[in-house]
Structure 1
Amino acid sequence: MPSSTSIVVGVVVSFLLFLLFLRKLFLLFSRKRIMDSSRLPPVPVVPGLPLLGNLLQLKEKKPHKTFTKWAEIYGPIYSIKTGASTVIVLNSTHVAKEAMVTRFSSISTRKLSNALEVLTCNKCIVATSDYDDFHKMVKKYLLNGLLGANAQKRKRYYRDALIENVTSKLHTYVKDHPEEPVNFREIFEYELFGLAMKQALGEDVESVYVEELGKTFTKQEIFKILVHDMMEGAIDVDWRDFFPYLRWIPNKKFETRIQQKHFRRLAVMKALIQDQLKRKDSHKEEGSYLSFLLSEAKALKMEQIAILVWETIIETSDTTLVTTEWALYELAKQQNLQENLYEEIRSVCGGEKIKEERLPQLPYLNGIFHETLRKYSPAPLVPLRYVHEDTQIGGYHIPAGSEIAVNIYGCNRDKNRWENPEEWKPERFLDEKYDTSDLFKTMAFGSGKRVCAGALQASLISCVAIGRLVQEFQWKLVDGEEENVDTFGLTSQKLFPLKAILHPRFP
């Protein structure tokens, strides 16, 4: 039998060997971390206090423009500090697609601001939900019930009616107010909102009584609550977004403002839905997105259904307007390009009005659509994604806990990909290296599993609208309009509505 002394010695030796083994592992792990850290994206110089990171450099309301300037110095991928968070900013199509497609499984969750967390009912809409079973389910509903190819065919008459209403109102305005500028947004926005209401609810609602708010709201007031106020709220900044460990400190003014917008939005949506439920047994047209959800989405609560229906209303009412308005602005500014489009339409359509079936035969019109998306992407920045496991993008190690910001604005101004990116040149998309049938070449609709479900509808409405409006009118900017290129907040929407003089091309 071994002595007690030999047993103790054996235990001590074994323990020392185990410590040496752990030390070796620690050194290997430390060396790997050092090697990985050396591959981190470069960080811009931080002015001021270390606690603030790059926040002082981002105090202007157009961070996508600042990100693009930094890309010229630090390359297409770099990291910044926004208070307590590290954000990896992607500024080229190559690294953006790598993140959205190849590395998607590592960054498939969303990181929302405090405002968006409230306004989306904690990720209850398709655009901001995490990529999980809920996202897959509601996106399937969205495609089958509203935005998929088959659903779009069923609702074609809504789009045709939109175009006819817009052109008719413009002809009436020009006849009654010759040589006076027309506010294009005022007319197009009203009709686009009407289309959104028809698709979402089954009818274009002119007014609704909201019991919770104790009054009847007009269509214009409904638009303000459901669209304008929500856009305004989405870009509202809460300083606690940058310092999450200080969330316990109240910010009552911000919280009250956001909660009021949310309460009014939800109250109006519930009233609109209740009105439709009362008419369920009438002879009104069925097949709206609301009726589809009520029949198919048995697992969803009524509040979730209300928010999903609201999502289609705001997204239809906003993004298509942005693209169409900027395209007409550029065509009115560059008369030679406007005439190029008119001649293409005349050579293909003759005296017939342009229809959706003709779009594949109009490459210049398609080029105008894509070039407008490139220069004026409706969403300059993709909502932040959260890196939940270590990954790599662009050859750099991206540690878990980081956030990813895809700068669409920067991707579409990358001088390595686009020649003279600040110029609006539709002819660039006539080059054979670009496939004009690809809706996602400019990243405006995203990429991968989170690609925008409304891309098809947006392209159909915008392309036909641009074509018909140039086919029937000659557009000319009013004096001073050329300089009105400011945008609203973090969006690409024109700060000031387009004002133009219109001359009918034919009776």
Structure 2
Amino acid sequence: MDAVIQTIQYWPLGSVITAGGLVVALGVISPRILSDQKKKSPKHLRTVPAIPGVPVLGNLLQLKEKKPHKTFLNWVEKYGPIYSVKTGASTMVVLNSTDLAKEAMVDKYSSISSRKLSRSLTMLTHDKSIVAMSDYGDFHKTVKRNILTSVLGANAQKQHRIHRDVLIENVCSELYAVLEKYPEEAVNLREYFQAELFRLALKQGIGKDVESVFVEELGSTISREMMLKYLVSDCMEGAIDVDWRDFFPYLRWIPNPGFVKKIQQIQFNRDVVVKALINDQRKRIATGEAIYCLLDYLLSEKQTLTEKQLQMSVWEEIIETSDTTVVTTEWAMYELAKDPERQDKLFREVQSVCGSGKVTEDKLRQLPYLTAIFHETLRKHGPVPIVPLRYVHEDVELGGYYVPAGTEIAINIYACNMEKGVWESPTEWKPERFLEGRYDQNDLFKTMAFGAGKRSCAGALQAMTISCLTIARLVQEFEWRLKDGEEENVATVGLTSYKLHPLLANIKPRN
């Protein structure tokens, strides 16, 4: 059993990942085995090709390098863009092309829309009490409508623009300050950017950027930095933790107390901090002070949400705003910092549109090369390598193959964005490919990074706005060069595109 557990730890199938402001996850796979396909499949449809594996473990040993999305892509050459993979007691069908992904997410969505979560995600989401992890239905529609109305929709984004302006001004000011104090040292962009994103998340979620909050259950007042830890960092770490019993449900009776205790502690800390933040703002609301934010909207609308669902809605806005935009922005700055010519090209474009004035959101539509940089970064470094697994609840045809009810579907976005028939030289970071007239510059869904169909990313508009404005201002204000040795520092965290180590760059003011 120890050998099995050690193998499983290499591939966090229960991993959590984000895009454009949304958390997504790979969950537990249904125990139905696809060996039943032959006797159930219609005569005119083929059964999905299976990747050969070993008894009991299936293909787990072949996925131990922690990057299954890359292994899945390698298998395309031999087995084609659709095949089945066995992981312990479970089997899933993997889709590795854009056409297959769109067929599953759009055309056949009515047959493929439910979620199955890992044990850690089930605990941390209070059994699907957030938009990203809920099954498609009345609850999902209600909560998504709430966040679009108060935070992520076009009208809401206009209301919150002042907060985004403050975010970018603060990031630039902090970089100038650290540069003045330590002119020879490389800067850690993530340190300042994520802190400001968290402040933005608090303003949009509860109405105020609070410095600290007293948490009765912890018996102490915690700082903003500790809030970030409890509400974001610890939760992301817990969500990618793996309970080996997820792979072998028939062994769920075996205790795993270390795992359970860790997730329960993360859940407790998160819950009591969110509760304290909401209760503090309820006092504000009781005095008649209203602020345009998610919490005020939920309370004023007298939603049918339970208290726990309300808390989870607020937490979801905070964690998703605080985390995922970091991934795309940091990778974009990495690529620009190692490519002076493209960085200068972007700088010249900004200067031609803005002159001596600072770039603002109003100017973003006039900066096609900036838009191309954003989409190319999403394509190569998409925050969500694999779409959260979906559960087939009725027999369906995918790519000309029969897929029975009870199957889990994994959509390999990484493979879609590396598809040789769609992208020329897909391993290269080449923003110019988005200026060749094949794509609408205003289309957020050029790549599969924001998903498609009814579950497409609700935070796409905010993610693009924040990331593009930040990239443009950082290049407008500073020259960026990678610190020596940083070009090879491309390792990522688990089944995500999150840089394992923060980007370190030497910067110099333009003026």
TM > 0.5: yes
Contact 1:112 1:383 (8 Å CA) reproduced: no
Contact 1:107 1:387 (8 Å CA) reproduced: yes
Deviation at 1:282, TM superposition (A): 4.5
CA distance in 1, matches of 2:465, 2:432: 20
Structure 1 position 268 matched with structure 2 position 268: no
Aligned match for 1:166, one of 163, 171, 189:
171
* TM-score, normalised by the number of residues in structure 2: 0.90
Deviation at 1:442, TM superposition (A): 1.0
1:234-284 deviations in whole A, cap 9, x for unaligned? 111111111223323322111111111111110111011111112224475
Structure 1 position 208 matched with structure 2 position 228: no
CA distance in 1, matches of 2:456, 2:330: 23
CA distance in 1, matches of 2:421, 2:101: 15
Contact 1:179 1:502 (8 Å CA) reproduced: no
Residue in structure 1 matched with residue 51 of structure 2 by the alignment: 44
Larger Rg: 1
Contact 2:325 2:463 (8 Å CA) reproduced: yes
Aligned match for 2:324, one of 319, 326, 329:
319
CA distance in 2, matches of 1:116, 1:58: 21
Please state whether the residue corresponding to 2:185 is helix, strand or coil. coil
CA distance in 2, matches of 1:113, 1:365: 38
Structure 1 position 129 matched with structure 2 position 97: no
Contact 2:45 2:400 (8 Å CA) reproduced: no
Structure 1 position 150 matched with structure 2 position 164: no
1:433-472 superposed matches below 5 A: 433-472=438-477
Residue in structure 2 matched with residue 176 of structure 1 by the alignment: 181
Q: Structure with the greater relative contact order (CA < 8 A, sep ≥ 6): 1 or 2?
A: 2
**Structure 1 pair 31/267, CA: closer, same or farther in 2 (3 Å)?**
closer
The residue identity in structure 1 corresponding to 2:197 is L
1:91-490 superposed matches below 5 A: 91-282=96-287, 286-490=291-495
The residue identity in structure 2 corresponding to 1:231 is M
CA distance in 1, matches of 2:122, 2:365: 40
Please state whether the residue corresponding to 1:317 is helix, strand or coil. helix
Identify the range of structure 1 (375-384 vs 479-488) with the bigger mean alpha-carbon deviation.
375-384
Contact 2:60 2:87 (8 Å CA) reproduced: yes
1:23-45 deviations in whole A, cap 9, x for unaligned? xxxxxxx9974655961221111
CA distance in 1, matches of 2:302, 2:261: 32
Deviation at 1:176, TM superposition (A): 2.0
1:202-255 deviations in whole A, cap 9, x for unaligned? 111211111111222111111111111111111111111112233233221111
Deviation at 1:408, TM superposition (A): 1.1
The residue identity in structure 1 corresponding to 2:344 is E
The residue identity in structure 1 corresponding to 2:421 is N
1:55-96 deviations in whole A, cap 9, x for unaligned? 221223222121111122211111111122220111111101
Residue in structure 1 matched with residue 78 of structure 2 by the alignment: 73
CA distance in 2, matches of 1:400, 1:31: 14
Runs (4 or more) in structure 1 with deviation over 6 Å come to none
Unaligned runs of 5+ in 2: 1-36
Unaligned runs of 5+ in 1: 1-29
Contact 1:68 1:410 (8 Å CA) reproduced: yes
CA distance in 2, matches of 1:79, 1:219: 45
Please state whether the residue corresponding to 1:280 is helix, strand or coil. helix
The residue identity in structure 2 corresponding to 1:69 is N
Contact 1:111 1:383 (8 Å CA) reproduced: no
The residue identity in structure 2 corresponding to 1:428 is R
**Structure 1 pair 350/251, CA: closer, same or farther in 2 (3 Å)?**
same
CA distance in 1, matches of 2:244, 2:500: 25
Contact 2:42 2:402 (8 Å CA) reproduced: no
CA distance in 2, matches of 1:398, 1:438: 32
Contact 1:37 1:397 (8 Å CA) reproduced: no
Residue in structure 1 matched with residue 25 of structure 2 by the alignment: none
1:52-71 superposed matches below 5 A: 52-71=57-76
The residue identity in structure 1 corresponding to 2:69 is H
Identify the range of structure 1 (53-62 vs 462-471) with the bigger mean alpha-carbon deviation.
53-62
Q: Which has the higher helix share?
A: 1
Identify the range of structure 1 (294-303 vs 347-356) with the bigger mean alpha-carbon deviation.
294-303
The residue identity in structure 2 corresponding to 1:42 is P
How many positions carry a matched residue from both structures? 476
Please state whether the residue corresponding to 1:502 is helix, strand or coil. strand
The residue identity in structure 2 corresponding to 1:457 is Q
**Structure 1 pair 253/497, CA: closer, same or farther in 2 (3 Å)?**
same
CA distance in 1, matches of 2:320, 2:456: 14
Identity %: 62
Contact 1:54 1:82 (8 Å CA) reproduced: yes
The residue identity in structure 1 corresponding to 2:47 is L
CA distance in 2, matches of 1:274, 1:221: 18
1:469-500 deviations in whole A, cap 9, x for unaligned? 10111001110111110011222111111111
Deviation at 1:127, TM superposition (A): 0.6
Identify the range of structure 1 (460-469 vs 484-493) with the bigger mean alpha-carbon deviation.
484-493
Deviation at 1:413, TM superposition (A): 1.1
**Structure 1 pair 379/302, CA: closer, same or farther in 2 (3 Å)?**
same
Structure 1 position 83 matched with structure 2 position 88: yes
**Structure 1 pair 379/31, CA: closer, same or farther in 2 (3 Å)?**
closer
CA distance in 2, matches of 1:231, 1:148: 25
Deviation at 1:465, TM superposition (A): 0.5
Residue in structure 1 matched with residue 22 of structure 2 by the alignment: none
* TM-score, normalised by the number of residues in structure 1: 0.91
Residue in structure 2 matched with residue 505 of structure 1 by the alignment: 510
CA distance in 2, matches of 1:422, 1:218: 42
Residue in structure 1 matched with residue 16 of structure 2 by the alignment: none
